[in-house]
Amino acid sequence: MLPSPVGLLQGTTTPTTADVAQSFFSWLPFTVPQWTTNILSTAVVLVLAWAISRLLVKLLGRRVAQRFRRPSLTRTALRGIRVGVYVLALLTIMGIYGLQISDIGLSVAVFSAVVGVVVAPIVGSFISGIFLLADQPYEIGDMVELADSGQRGFVEDITLRHTKMFTLDNTFLVIPNGSMRDRDVINYSADDPRTRLSLDVLVTYESDISEARALIERAARNVDNVLGGGPDIRVGAARYPASPTVYINEFADHGVLLTLRYWITKPYKLLAARSRIQTNVWAELEDADVEIAYPHSHLYFDETSGEMQVSLQDQAGEQLADGQLSEEE
C-alpha cells in the first residue's frame, strides 16, 4: 500500500518509484517479482518519454521555427527538448532502481577524471558548435567550400558537435565543429545566391579590341544561368553592373589581357557556366578580326651570339678536333 500523507509529513517514510510500481501491481492475486516490476516500469517510462518528446516537438515545432527563423537553431532547440524529456526519464528510471544522484556522484567524478582526456575534444566540439550557431558563418542549405581542400557542397545539418555536408560529387562529410572553426569556409549562398566570376582572355595587339570586348560579352549573355542585365548589384558599399562586362586588364608581353566579369545565379554550376562561356567565346572569335594570343619563341643567331665548342668522333672512336671531319665524312 502507498504510505499515508501523515507519514510523509512526519518524515517517517519516503516513497520511491519502485514502491509506487509495486503498489500498482498489488491488486494481482499473485506476487510479482521485484525485477519484473522494475523492467516493466522502465519500459513504460521509455515509451512515455518517446511519446511525450514526439508530442512536444509536434506541438512546439512551428512556434520554435517562427521564434528563431533559422533551421540550425530550430533543430538544436527541438533536440534540446527531446534531450530534456529523456533526462527526466533517466532520473525516473534511476528512482525505480533505488538510485539517487548522490549515490553515483563519486563514481561519476572518478570516471570523469579518468576519461577527461578522451572527452576533451568532444567538449571542444560542443563549444565550437555553440559559437558556430551564434556567429552564423553558414546555414543549413548554403553552398560552401572548404578552402584548404577545395571541396564544395551543401550544408545538410548543423549540430552542437559536428557539421554535415553533401559535396557536389554526392559524397557525405561529417566534420567536427572544432575543425570547422579552424578552417576558411567560403559561403556562396549566405544571403544572395548570385556569385561573380571572372575569365581572362588574351588577344593579340593586332586584334580589334572593341569588337573582342563586345563579342566576349555577348558570349557570356548567351549562357542560361548568367545574368544578362538588370540593376546594379550591391556588395557592401560598392555596386557592380549585373550584365557581363569586359575590361582591359593589362597590356601584357604577348597581347592585350581582357577580363570578363559576370554573375551567375546557381553557384553549384560554376564550372559548367565557365565551360559554356569559353565555348561561346571560341565560336564568337573564330570568324572575327580577333586572334587569341599565345606565346611564341624565336631563336636568332648572329655574330654576337658567341661560339659553341663541338667535339666529334669518327667510327674508330678517335676524337677529332673542333670543326674537323674525318675523311669518310
Q: What is the model's pLDDT at position 278?
A: 94
Walk along the chain (329 residues) in steps of 10 and give the mean pLDDT of each run. Answer: 44 53 57 68 84 83 73 75 83 73 56 59 72 76 86 86 86 84 81 86 93 94 89 86 93 92 88 92 90 80 68 60 47
Residue 93, in any domain of the structure: yes
Distance in angstroms (rounded) separating the CA atoms of residues 233 and 240 = 5
| Co-location of 163 and 242 in the same domain | no
Residue 325, in any domain of the structure: no
Q: What is the model's pLDDT at position 7?
A: 45
| Co-location of 72 and 55 in the same domain | yes
Q: What is the model's pLDDT at position 60?
A: 78
Give bridge partners of residue 143 from the DSSP assignment: 154
Q: What is the model's pLDDT at position 2?
A: 43
For the chain, the residue count is 329
| Co-location of 216 and 241 in the same domain | yes
Q: What is the model's pLDDT at position 253?
A: 85
Q: What is the model's pLDDT at position 168?
A: 86
Q: What is the model's pLDDT at position 329?
A: 46
Residue 39, in any domain of the structure: yes
Q: What is the pTM of this model?
A: 0.55
Residue 158, in any domain of the structure: yes
Distance in angstroms (rounded) separating the CA atoms of residues 35 and 119 = 34
Q: Which domain holds residue 42?
A: 5-99
Q: What is the model's pLDDT at position 325?
A: 47
Q: What angle do CA 128, 133, 136 make, to 5 degrees?
A: 115
| Co-location of 208 and 281 in the same domain | yes
CA-based nearest residue to 139, from 68, 182, 187: 187
Q: What is the model's pLDDT at position 5?
A: 43
Helix, strand, or coil here: 164? Answer: strand
